Amino acid sequence: MSAEEYEVTHPGFASSLPSQPPAKDDLALMCDSTPPLQPESFYIDGEERVTVDFRIDDHDLPAQETIYHYARFNFPDDRTYHIVGVEPLVENEEFVHHFVIKGCSEGTEVPGEPIPDVDSMILQCQEYLYIWAPGTGNFSSPKNAGIPVGKGTRRLGGELEIHYDNPLEKKGQRDNSGVRIHLTPDLRKDEVGILWSGTILSVGLLPPKTDTIYSSTICQISINETAAPGGVQVFGYMPHMHLTGRRMWTDRLVVKPQSGPSNGSFVTDFSELEK
For the chain, give every domain's residue range: 3-196
46-62: pLDDT as tens digits: 999 999 999 987 888 99
Q: What is the pLDDT of residue 209?
A: 86
Q: How confident is the model at residue 32 (pLDDT cuts 50, 70, 90)?
A: very low
Between 253 and 96, the more confident residue is 96
pLDDT at 144 over 80: yes
pLDDT at 202 over 80: no
- What is the residue type of 12? G
pLDDT at 273 over 60: no
Among 66-70, 73-77, 184-188, the minimum mean pLDDT is found in 66-70
pLDDT at 143 over 50: yes
Mean pLDDT of the chain: 78
User: What's the rounded mean pLDDT across residues 84-108?
Assistant: 92
User: What's the rounded mean pLDDT across residues 197-206?
Assistant: 68
Q: How confident is the model at residue 34 (pLDDT cuts 50, 70, 90)?
A: low
Secondary structure of the chain as H, E, C letters = CCHHHCCCCCCCCCCCCCCCCCCHHHHHHCCCCCCCCCHHHHCCCCCCCEEEEEECCCEEECCCCEEEEEEEEECCCCCEEEEEEEEEECCCCCCEEEEEEEEECCCCCCCCCECCCHHHHCCCEEEEEEEECCCCCCEECCCCEEEEEECCCCCCEEEEEEEEECCCCCCCEEECCEEEEEEECCCCCEECCCCCCCCCCCCCCCCCCCCCCCCCCCCCCCCCCCCCCCCCCCCCCCCCCCCCCCCCCCCCCEECCCCCCCCCCCCCCHHHEEC
- pTM given for the model: 0.73
Q: How confident is the model at residue 105 (pLDDT cuts 50, 70, 90)?
A: very high
Q: Dihedral sign, CA of 197, 162, 160, 236?
A: negative
pLDDT at 271 over 80: no
Q: What is the pLDDT of residue 4?
A: 38
Between 111 and 244, the more confident residue is 111
* Third-level CATH fold of 3-196: Jelly Rolls (2.60.120)
208-240: pLDDT as tens digits: 888 888 777 777 777 777 877 877 888 887 777
